[in-house]
Amino acid sequence: MITRADRANPLRWYLAALLIGIVLSLLEGYPLLKFQAQRLAEIVPALGLLAWCYRRQPAAFFSEPVLSGWYGLGLVGFAAAALLSGAVGAIPWISLGFLGLMLLQFGLLPLLQPVWQRHGADLVRLLALFTVAVLGMDVGIWLLARAFEVTPYAWVLRPEPGGGMAEAPYLYLNSRWANQLTVLLIWTFVPLLQQLQQRVIVRQRRFWWVICAAVPLLGLSQIVLNQGDGALLAVVVGGAGLALAGWRSTAEGRRLCWMATGLLLGAGLLAALLSAALNAGDFFTEFAQRGAEQLAPAAPTAQKRIVLWPAYARAVLASPWLGAGIPAIAPASPECTPHNLWLALLHWTGLLGTAAALALATAFVPRHWSGRGVSVMALPLLLSLFVYQLVDDIWLRPLALALLLVLLPGLKLLDAAQPSPQLLAQQKAPQRWLQRFAFPAATYRLLAVVGVLLITVSSVVPGGVGFAPSALVTMPKAACLLFF
């Protein structure tokens, strides 16, 4: 039953608005307009959260630090590095838009951690339902496309007998973007499983067990059906980390982790059987072959990792400290991005920006794995996210960014027996110079507002992100779709 307190949960309405935006984007077939619709599906709910943060606040909101100084230093340091690299690079106004996006996302993150502390149990169930809805749509559309012999993840028009044109619905512009949401959402079943095991959920348990089992089944089916090699590798590593955590846990934690791992294995087997029944290829036997093809010697124009990574690595060496601005394309690269988080950060913001980005992780990467609450999914989610970011670029896509805004603040929740965030911030930052970066919540709210202003400026000035592919960030044979 939904309590009055849970109805006031802003992330409940954020997820509802995001889901509505995703569904509405199905109505648009033209790829550029679909991309714009998904941009709006991400930014409008985020602006709603920012507006919610401007309600009446207690005095502590304006004076007491909410996170350690390392996070504040990382946010300010990354902003300064991104601003400098963009100013000296070839795409200053585009880089300004991406800087604004970073300030909005990471300015909101400290403001959403208290929401997780108050509504964590409710959000666990909401995220599982959201996952089933989104992944269910994706797998359902794939199966329909297969039944009607339509290419999935593509804008397909077919002539009708009356002379008109019929459009086949699709949700993502390519399968990689679909895999990104799966990597982020598949672990939402773990804290839900914990609630079921601990009997936190006492009503409609059969329904919630179905939801709990459906999340890994839909996630792995989506990966197997569209042959997401990097996504499968990421989920396998996350699952291995979860099993290892169970081996080192108490009896209750072991039961949770090993049952979650068993659900993953069972879902993987069912996904393989579904793929075989549909004659969609033997995914698991072809996995190693497809991975080897990406690393085999290839022509300089081939769109393979063996070509992309050296091209971006050479560009990093050309400007190691400042970078070239976000999201500049490296010379001789055949694609818009390197499909590797670290090469992207180094090329775009240099060593200074990458070091600052690592400091930002102090807000959502726990020092120790916790077997309670939503933190149980921190280990597998962060492991899979780290692995997947070595071969893809989740942090540049609208819907993936929209989910990161919800998930990251919940990965490092404090137990009730621990000191307050304010006391922890003081304990972790005894140095006076670092304590200056232990900002109150009001400061992060202001930085998020500055981010919105930078996005607006970059959207309207010539040479900014605009509302169409930019000539400044475009490949010879294809348009690079910028988030901003």
Which tens digit of pLDDT belongs to each residue from 300-359? Answer: 777 788 889 999 999 999 989 999 999 999 988 988 889 999 999 999 999 999 999 999
Contact 289, 280 (CB under 8 A): no
User: What b-and-e string marks burial along 144-161, b requiring 16 or more CB atoms within 10 Å of the CB?
Assistant: ebeeeebebbeebeeeee
Does residue 94 surpass a pLDDT of 90? yes
Are 61 and 440 in contact by the 8 Å Cβ rule? The answer is yes
Look-up of token digits 């955590």: 245
Q: Give the model confidence (pLDDT) of 207-224 as tens digits.
A: 999 999 999 999 999 999
Which pTM does this prediction carry? 0.92
What phi and psi, each to the nearest 5 degrees, are found at residue 167? -105, 140
Question: 283-295 and 251-277 helices cross at what angle (nearest 10)?
Answer: 90
- What confidence tens digit (pLDDT) does each residue in 103-138 have? 999 999 999 999 999 999 999 999 999 999 999 999
**Residue-level pLDDT at 416:** 34
Average pLDDT, the chain: 88
pLDDT over threshold 50, residue 417: no
179-to-2, 176, 221, 232, 364 alpha-carbon distances in Å:
31, 5, 11, 9, 22
Token reading at 278? 């549909």
For 271, half-sphere exposure in the C-beta direction (CA atoms, 13 angstrom radius) is 26
- In angstroms, the CA 185 to CA 403 distance is 8
